[in-house]
Amino acid sequence: MNIQQNISLKAFNTFGIDVNANAFAEVFTAEDLSIALQYIQQHPQPLLILGGGSNVLFTQNFSGLVLKNSLKGKEIVKENRDKVFVKVHAGENWHQFVLWCLEKNFAGIENLSLIPGCVGAAPMQNIGAYGVELKDVFHELEAVEISTGSSKTFSNQDCEFGYRESVFKKELRNKYIINSVTFMLHNLNVSEHYTYHIDYGDIKAELAENSVFNLNIKAVSDAVIKIRSSKLPDPKDLGNSGSFFKNPVINNDHFAALQLSYPLIPSYHAGAEKTKIPAGWLIEQCGWKGKRVGNTGSHAKQALVLVNYGNAQGNEVKELATAIQQSVMDKFGIAIEAEVNIY
C-alpha cells in the first residue's frame, strides 16, 4: 500500500471541490487496511474514510490521512427458501451491485438504481429512494474499530437506521471502517411472490409509458434510471452531492398552521403526529430554485441539489447552504438539516 503526501481530492469527490489531503492511500485488501491502521497508530492524525465521495463537501484541506476503501468482492453466503444473503465488500460500486442483482434475478434494491458511491457508505445514511431504504434489505455489516483494529458485526438493530441516518453518522461517527455489508434479498428464481414498490413518484407512469404489463425488477430499475436521469445533474457534467438537505419532518400542528397560509404545501405522513415536507419545495418557494450565486447555485430541475458550476470553493457552497437554511427558517419556521457530510 502506497501512502501519498499532499494529494488533491478533486477527483475523489463528486462536488469536484479542489482541496488537498496531507496523506492519501487506497486500500484494496484486508492487509492494506491493517497496514493503514498501524500507520495511523504510529503517526496519530485525523482519518477520513472515503468511498465514491458522492456525499461529502470539502470546505478546507484535510490535515490527516484520507483512506479510500476499495475492498472488492461479493459472494452468496447463505440461501434460505426464497431469501438469498449476499455479502458485498465496501469498495464495490453501488449501482454495479444493483445491476448484478438484476442479472441474478435477486429483488430488493431495484428502486435504489443509479445512486452513486460505494456499498460501504450505503449504511452510513441508510440510502433511500423511491420508497425503499437500505434497511429494508440489510442483514448485517462488518466493520473495524479504528482505535483498536478489532472487527465487529453490526445487526440491523445495532445500526439504528433512521431517515437518512444511522449510528455511524451519530455516536459512532469516524469510529469504524465499514468493510462489508450483507444483504438479504428476495430470490425470484425460487419464488416469484414478491411485492414491488411502484407507488412512489412517477414510477407507475413511467412503467405505463414503457408498456410494461408484467412487472419485473429490470423494468422497475429502468423506470427509476429514466426518471432520475431526467432531473438529476450527472456529477460528470456538473459537480454535486445529490440532495444537499434532508426533507424536514415537522409536527402536525405546525403543518396545519402552515397549510392555512400555503394551501398547496406538499406533504407526506411521517409517523404519529408527524408530517414530512419536501425540502425542495420549501427552497423553491424561497426563490432559490435555479438561482446561481458565483460558482455555485441551486439546480434548476431539483432545488434540493446544490451544484458546482466549475471552480466553486467548498465554503461558497456552505455559505449558499446557510443562506438557504436561513430563508426557509424565516419563511416557514422550519430548520432544514444538511444531509451531505461537511468537512
User: Which does residue 17 bind out of ligand NAP, ligand FAD, none, counting CB within 5 to 8 angstroms by kind?
Assistant: none
* Residue 229 within binding range of ligand NAP, rule CB under 6 A: no
Q: Is the dihedral of CA 313, 282, 166, 95 positive or negative?
A: negative
Cβ atoms within 10 Å of 234's Cβ, excluding its own: 12
Task: Work out how close the CB of 130 gets to ligand NAP at its nearest, in angstroms, rounded to a whole number.
Answer: 5
Residues 184-213, one symbol each (x = binds ligand NAP by CB under 6 A, - = not), give ----------------xx------------
Closest residue to ligand NAP: CB criterion: 242
The yes-or-no answer on residue 243 being catalytic is yes
Shortest Å distance, C-beta 252 to ligand NAP: 16
Q: Minimum distance between the CB of residue 30 and ligand NAP, rounded to whole angstroms? A: 30
- The number of residues that bind ligand FAD (CB under 6 A) is 32
Shortest CB 151 distance to ligand NAP, Å: 29
Q: Which strand (E) or helix (H) includes residue 253? A: helix 252-261
In the chain, the largest separation of any two C-alpha atoms, in whole Å, equals 61
Check if the beta carbon of residue 102 is closer than 8 Å to that of residue 222.
Answer: no
Candidate list 9, 23, 40, 56; residue touching ligand FAD; CB under 6 A: 56
If binding is defined by CB under 6 A, does position 167 make contact with ligand FAD?
no
Asked whether position 238 contacts ligand NAP by CB under 6 A, the answer is no
User: Closest by alpha carbon to 84, among 72, 101, 99, 97?
Assistant: 101
73: burial class by Cβ within 10 Å (0-12, 13-18, 19+)?
A: exposed
Question: Using an 8 Å Cβ cutoff, are 87 and 180 in contact?
Answer: yes
For residue 52, the partner it binds in ligand NAP, ligand FAD, none, with Cβ less than 5 to 8 A by kind, is ligand FAD
Lay out the site mask for ligand NAP across 273-302 (x = CB under 6 A, - = otherwise).
-----x-x---------------------x
CA atoms within 13 A on the CB side of 252: 7
Query: What letters, b where the CB count within 10 A reaches 16 and e where it falls short, cover 20-42?
Result: bbebbbbbeeeebbeebbebbee
Q: Name the residue among 177, 190, 170 with its Cα closest to residue 145.
A: 177
x-or-dash string of contact with ligand FAD, 122-161, rule CB under 6 A: x-xx-xxx--------------------------------
- In the list 27, 47, 69, 276, the residue contacting ligand FAD (rule: CB under 6 A) is 69
State yes or no: residue 130 binds ligand NAP (CB under 6 A).
Answer: yes
Of 164, 206, 221, 316, the catalytic one is 164
CB atoms within 10 A of CB 280: 21
DSSP letter (8 states) at residue 214: S
With CB under 6 A as the contact rule, which of the stretches 39-47, 180-188, 238-246, 282-290 interacts with ligand FAD?
238-246
Q: Which is nearer to ligand FAD, 14 or 187 (CB)?
A: 14
| Residue 114 touches ligand NAP, criterion: CB under 6 A | no
Distance of CA 82 to the CA centre of its chain: 28
Burial class (CB in 10 A: 0-12, 13-18, 19+), 326: exposed
Q: HSE on the CB side for 339, CA within 13 Å?
A: 25
CB 86 within 8 Å of CB 77: yes
Is residue 14 at the binding interface for ligand FAD, with CB under 6 A as the rule? yes
Buried-exposed string 44-69: b where 16+ CB fall within 10 A, e elsewhere = eeebbbbbbbbbbbbeeebebbbbbb
Pull the grid cell for residue 317: 457552497
Site residues, ligand NAP (CB under 6 A): 128-130, 200-201, 231-232, 242-243, 247, 268, 278, 280, 302, 339
The residues assigned a catalytic role are: 164, 243, 339
Site residues, ligand FAD (CB under 6 A): 14, 48-56, 69, 90, 115-118, 120-122, 124-125, 127-129, 177-178, 232, 235, 240-242, 341
